[in-house]
Structure 1
Amino acid sequence: MDKLQKIREEEIKAVTEMIGIFCRDVHKTDGVELCPECEELLEYIKKRVNSCPRMAEKTLCSECRTHCYAPNRQQRIKQIMHYSGSKLALRSPVMAVRRKITHWISTIQQIVYDIF
């Protein structure tokens, strides 16, 4: 598996986990299957992640300068990420730490970019 495909799979895995947390808590699903609304959103995200032109150079979708999602879906995804971000640390601590480190790296890169 090449590096780019691994990045895509990690992004999809993280989003799948976060949507699962949200759907279980808010839509009261069983935690195994998503409701139709969340399932449709996840499929949309998978298509967008797999066709992202900046996957090799970016860190997190929220940090990207190119927005691959339609505005209404982008807003929905932000709501889900905001809700499940803190809960991810309890459910998948390793994934949460990786995402936090990735965010820090992105922040440092942006500061360096702004300085120079």
Structure 2
Amino acid sequence: MVANNTGPKIQQEKATVSVMIYLYCHQNHHTPRNQLCNECHDLLNYAMARLTMCRFGEHKTTCERCPKHCYRKDYKQKIKQVMRYAGPRMIIHHPIMAFRHIYKNLLSK
């Protein structure tokens, strides 16, 4: 069965990942704000597709706590790099989104 997740929790996850990728790309690849390099654009599209097809849907935990990692190895390495960089900076650039993500991560222990 193919999932097509469009619920509010998945949309929030998509927004969080998107902001993290844009932040990472802007500060590391020196792209203009609201633009992505080809590599980051590819990663964003991949992440959105994975979230749309997530088997857990609206019951999804954060990716860090997910029992089934669905990213291919190369994309998994890229998204980890993005999250390591952007995660701590989210508190400054997008504090509400950052605290929501931290809270969700704590709840899914």
Establish whether TM, by shorter chain, passes 0.5.
yes
- Structure 1 runs not aligned, ≥5 long: 108-116
- Residue aligning to 1:92: 94
Question: d(CA) in 2 for partners of 1:40 and 1:82?
Answer: 19
Post-superposition Cα deviations, 1:33-91, rounded to whole Å, max 9, x if no partner, equal: 11111011100111110001012323201210111110111111011000000100111
- Residue aligning to 2:105: 103
- Are 1:10 and 2:12 an aligned pair? yes
Q: Which has the larger radius of gyration?
A: 1
SS of corresponding position for 2:69: coil
- Residue aligning to 1:55: 57
Equivalent AA in structure 2 for residue 20 of structure 1: Y
Q: Which runs of 4+ in 1 moved over 6 A?
A: none
Question: d(CA) in 2 for partners of 1:4 and 1:53?
Answer: 12
Pairwise CA RMSD? 1.4
Question: d(CA) in 2 for partners of 1:36 and 1:24?
Answer: 12
- Residue aligning to 2:85: 83
Contact map agreement 1:19 1:38 (CA 8 A) in 2: yes
- Are 1:19 and 2:21 an aligned pair? yes
Compare the two structures and name the one with the higher helix fraction: 1
Higher relative contact order (CA 8 A, sep 6+): 2
Contact map agreement 2:7 2:58 (CA 8 A) in 1: no
- Residue aligning to 2:35: 33
Question: d(CA) in 2 for partners of 1:4 and 1:98?
Answer: 19
Aligned sequence identity (%): 33
Q: Which of the numbers 72, 75, 98 marks the counterpart of 2:74?
A: 72
Residue correspondences, number: 105
